[in-house]
Amino acid sequence: DSGVTQTPKHLITATGQRVTLRCSPRSGDLSVYWYQQSLDQGLQFLIQYYNGEERAKGNILERFSAQQFPDLHSELNLSPLELGDSALYFCASSVGSGGQETQYFGPGTRLLVL
């Protein structure tokens, strides 16, 4: 158990809908990262927040948005959903914001868009 929690574990929804994925980092961690992993594909880095501020942006689509709240939990919003958004979404956290930080990954949220 990494100490990072993600909810929900599974989500089934339809194209055009909106979903919110939630991540709670490890106690004391200030950075949160979001990743997308499609079936049998590698990790796609989406975005990183550090202490409430955006730190780095990867391949995040304009239909996606994220934020980190004062209590350091983070949410990833996806809208409007498309079939290709079906994937496993991981959240990770680390203490600091630099490249030497070890990222601790949550169990993921599996999203299925029908």
Partner 1 sequence: LAKTTQPISMDSYEGQEVNITCSHNNIATNDYITWYQQFPSQGPRFIIQGYKTKVTNEVASLFIPADRKSSTLSLPRVSLSDTAVYYCLVSEQNSNYQLIWGAGTKLIIKP
Single residue of 26, 67, 73, 88 touching partner 1 by CB under 8 A = 88
Among residues 33 and 64, whose Cβ is nearest to partner 1?
33
**In whole angstroms, how close is the CB of 43 to partner 1 at the nearest point?**
5
CA–CA–CA angle 113, 89, 2 (5° rounding):
145
Task: For residue 102, state whether it binds partner 1 (rule: CB under 8 A).
Answer: yes
Work out whether 95 is an interface residue with partner 1 (CB under 8 A): no
**Binding of partner 1 at residue 58 (CB under 8 A)?**
yes
Reported in sequence order, the residue ranges of the chain that DSSP labels E, i.e. its strands, are: 5-7, 10-13, 19-24, 31-37, 44-50, 53-57, 64-68, 74-78, 87-94, 104-105, 109-113
CB-wise, 65 or 88, nearer to partner 1? 88
For residue 37, which amino acid is it?
Answer: Q
